[in-house]
Amino acid sequence: MTDTAACWTALENAPTATLKDLFAADADRVGRYSATLAVPGSDILFDWSKTHLSDDLVAGFEALASAAGFDTARETMLNGGMANPTEGRAAEHTAQRGMGADESVAEADAFHMRMRGLVEAIHGGVFGPVKHLIHIGIGGSALGPALAIDALARPTAEWRAPVDVHVVSNIDGNALEAAFEACDPATTMIAVASKTFTTIETMTNAASAIQWLEESGVADAYGKVVALTASPDKAVEWGVDETRVLPFSESVGGRYSLWSSIGFPVAIALGWDGFAEFLEGAAAVDRHFADADGFANLPLRAAFVDLMYVQLRGCQTRAVFAYDERLALFPDYLQQLEMESNGKSVLADGSPLGRQSAPITWGGVGTDAQHAVFQLLHQGTVEVPVDFIAVKQPGHDLDPEHHAILLTNCFAQGAALMAGKDSDDGARAYPGNRPSATILCEKMDPATLGALIAFHEHRTFANAVLLGINPFDQFGVELGKQIANQIAAGEGEGFDPSTEALLKTAGLKD
C-alpha cells in the first residue's frame, strides 16, 4: 500500500465514541478543540469540540497530511509554484494579499493601485455624478462581490455607501431588468467582469446594459463601462477604453478572484480603505496558514473534521447556517468554492480517486432555517455535520433583545443536536450525537469577512491536498456550456430524444 493508503486504513480502524463520551472523558475538551484566530481589530473563535474528532483521529490525520505532502503542497501554492498541473499554471490568489512570488505580488500591487486610482476618480466626480454601479459577471465574478457588498455595504443610520451597487449574474432578463429599474441611467456605471471577456451570459447581459444606456439617452454608453478581466485586449476590442480596463493575472482563478480587480465593486461601495482592510484580514489568515503546522493550523484542522465525516462516517453533505443576515449569501459562496474546487473523481495525475471527494455544501440563514430544514438535522435518518456562523456584535440599532434571541437560538441548536432527548413517543424522540462546529466572529467588518473567506479557501485547499486532487481546475462546468453554445449556433445534432423534444417544444429547434 502507498503511504496515504496505510494512513487511511489506520484512520478507518481508529476507535470511535459518542460526543457525550468524548466530553465525559476530557474535562478540557472545549479548550483543546477550540481556537482563536487573530484578525486585525478583532478575533474569530472556532469551536470543534462538538464534532467526533478525537486525539487518535488527529494523530491519524496529521500522519496523512505528512504522507500526502501537505507542507510541500502548501509551500508550492503560497510561493507561486505549479499548484494547478492540469492547466499548467500557478494559483496566485494569495499574491493579491501580499504572499507569493515577488514578481506576482508586485504585479498585484500595481493592479491594485490602478484600481484604486479609478475608484478614487469615480468617488471624486471625474466621471460626473455616479450614484449606481451595475456589476455584471457570473460564478466567481459575481458571487464574491455580491457576498461582500451584502455583508458590508448595508446602509445604517450613520453611513450609506457612496455608490449603490447591484450585482447581476443570471442570464434571465428579469435579473437585469430589476437592476435597470433601481438605477438612473444618467448616474449609472457598468462593470463587466469576465476573466476571458467571452463568457456568454456576462457578455449578453453587458450588451443589453449598453443598449439600455443608449436607449435612455446616454451619449457615450461605452464610456460608462469598466472592464474587470484577465484578457484586457478583448475588453478594448469590445469597446472599453484602455484607461477603464482593470486587469488581473491569468493565474488567479475565478472563484478565488474577489481579491483582484473583480473586487472593484466592493471598493466602490466601501471606499479604498475598506477594501484594503478586506485584503488585510485575508492576509492575516494567509500568515497563519503558512506558519502553523498540524493540528495548530486551523484550516487544516477544519479539513480533518471535513474528511472525518465524509470518509470515515459516510456523510454526503455539509450544512452551513449563518446566524447573521449580513452573511445570508455565505452558504451560496461556499457552494461554489468547495464543490467547484473539490467535486472531482480523479487524482491530480488523472488516475481514479477511489473514494468520496467533496460533500454537497448547502445551508441557509438562522433562524429561518430552523423552521424549514432543521427537522431533518434533528430527527432525519442521515448524519449531517453542521457549521454555525455567528457574530457577537449586531449590525443594527434595534433593541438588543433581537440579537440575544438570535445568538441564543444558534447556540441552542448545537446543544440540541449533540444532546438529543429520549422519549417513549418516537415522534418526540431526538437521537442526539449529531455534530456541529461553531465559528463566532467578534464583529462583521471588512477585515473579519476577508479572514472568514480566506479561512475557507485554505480549508478547501487542505481537503484537496489530503485527498490528492487538484482544486484549481473546473472542467466539469465546461461540457454543458459547450453543448449550449452548439445549440445556439444551430450546430447541435443527435441529442437524446428527451432533449430533442424539449428544444422543439421551447421553439429552439424546428
Active-site residue list: 340, 371, 481
φ and ψ of 193, to 5 deg: -110, 110
Only one residue has cell 484512520, namely: 11
Identity of the amino acid at 109: D
Residue 87 burial by Cβ neighbours in a 10 Å radius (0-12, 13-18, 19+): middle
Which regions of 140-261 does DSSP assign to beta strands (E)? 164-168, 188-193, 225-229, 245-247
Neighbour count for residue 46 (Cβ, 10 Å): 19
Sign of the alpha-carbon dihedral angle for 213, 214, 216, 221: positive
Sign of the alpha-carbon dihedral angle for 363, 368, 370, 371: negative
Identity of the amino acid at 323: Y
Report d(CA 28, CA 288) in Å as an integer: 24
3-class SS shares of the chain: helix, strand, coil, % to 5: 55, 15, 35
Give yes or no for a contact between 234 and 197, defined as CB atoms under 8 angstroms apart.
yes
Torsion of CA 308, 252, 257, 142, to 10 degrees: -100
Which three cell numbers, joined as nine digits, stand for 476? 466539469
Report d(CA 270, CA 162) in Å as an integer: 8
Identity of the amino acid at 294: G
Buried b (16+ CB within 10 A) or exposed e, 161-192: bebbbbbbbeeeeeebeebbeebebeebbbbb
Neighbour count for residue 151 (Cβ, 10 Å): 27
Report d(CA 451, CA 505) in Å as an integer: 49
Identity of the amino acid at 304: F
Q: Considering only CA atoms, which of 318, 332, 411 is closest in space to residue 364? A: 332
Contacts of 80 (CB under 8 A, 6+ apart): 90, 92, 95, 100, 101, 104, 251
